Structure 1
Amino acid sequence: MSAIKDWDAYNAAAREQGKALNALHPELVKGFGALSRGAATTTHLDAKTRELIALAVAVTTRCDGCIDAHVRKAKHAGATKAEMAEALGVAIALNAGAAFTYSLHVLDAAGEE
C-alpha cells in the first residue's frame, strides 16, 4: 500500500512552523501546551486509551497535525494498528450518525410542503 503522506516530513515541517508561531505568539503556544498537559493528566484513563480517543477525534475533526501527533503517542503507549482501526471504526460510525442526525435538521428546517 502506498503512503498518502510523508508523515515524517509533515512532522518536521509542522515543528518548524510551530517554532515560528512560538516566536510570534509565545503565550498562545504556552497556553496550548498547558491545555495538552492538562488533558494528559488523568486518573481513570491510561495513556493508550486517551490516545485512541484522540485518534478518533482527530479523524472527526479532520486534523492532520492531530493525526500525526496522536499516532506517534498511541504507538508509544503500546497501541497496535488493529486497536487504532477499532477506534477509527467508532469515529466513522459517529460521523455517519452525525450526518444522519443533521439530515433530520435539514428536513425540519425545510418545513411542511
Structure 2
Amino acid sequence: MLDWNSYREQVLAGVGALGKLTPDTVRGYAMIGNAGTKTDHLDAKTRELIAVAVAISLRCDGCITVHTDAARKAGATQEELAEALGVAIGLNAGAGLVYSTRAMDAFAAAGE
C-alpha cells in the first residue's frame, strides 16, 4: 500500500505547481469543489464521505487520500466510512449489471 500521508503531500504540491502554470483552471476546480459548502444542506462530514465513495468509483488515489483525510478531520468514523464505501461498492456492482445488459444488446445487434 501507499504511504498515504506522503502521497497526499505530493498530490497537493503537484496541484499547487499546476496552479502556478494555469491558475484559472485550479481556481475553477476549487470553486466547483467548494460550491456545496455555500448551501450547507449537507455537513462537511457527509460531503467528504460522498467524495470518498465517488473517489473509489473513479479509482482516483489522489482523491482518496485528500478526502479520507478531510473526512477524518470532519469527524467521520471508520464505521461511517465503511458504510459509505459499501454504498459505492453496491452502486459499482449495479452499474456493472446494467452495463452488462448493454453488452448483451450490442452482441445481439452484431448478429443482425
TM-score (norm 2): 0.91
Task: State the Cα distance separating 1:42 from its structure 2 match.
Answer: 2.9
| Structure 1 partner of 2:75 | 78
The gaps in structure 2 that reach 5 residues or longer are none
SS at structure 2 position matched to 1:22: helix
Structure 2 matches for 1:4-83, cutoff 5 A?
4-83=1-80
Partners of 1:76 and 1:40 lie apart in 2 by 16
Structure 1 residue 79: deviation in Å? 0.4
Q: Which residue of 1 aligns with 2:91?
A: 94
Partner of 1:111: 108
Unaligned 5+ segments in structure 1 are none
**Identity value in percent:** 49
The aligned amino acid for 2:33 is: S
CA distance in structure 2 between the aligned counterparts of 1:99 and 1:27, rounded to whole angstroms: 36
Number of matched residues?
A: 110
In the TM superposition, what is the alpha-carbon distance from 1:8 to its structure 2 partner? Answer: 1.2
Once the two structures are superposed, residues 41-75 of structure 1 have per-residue CA deviations (whole angstroms, 9 ceiling, x without a partner) of 33321111111111111110111111111111111
TM-score by structure 1 length? 0.90
| Separation in structure 1 between the aligned mates of residue 12 and residue 52 of structure 2, nearest angstrom | 19
Q: Which amino acid aligns with 1:94?
A: L
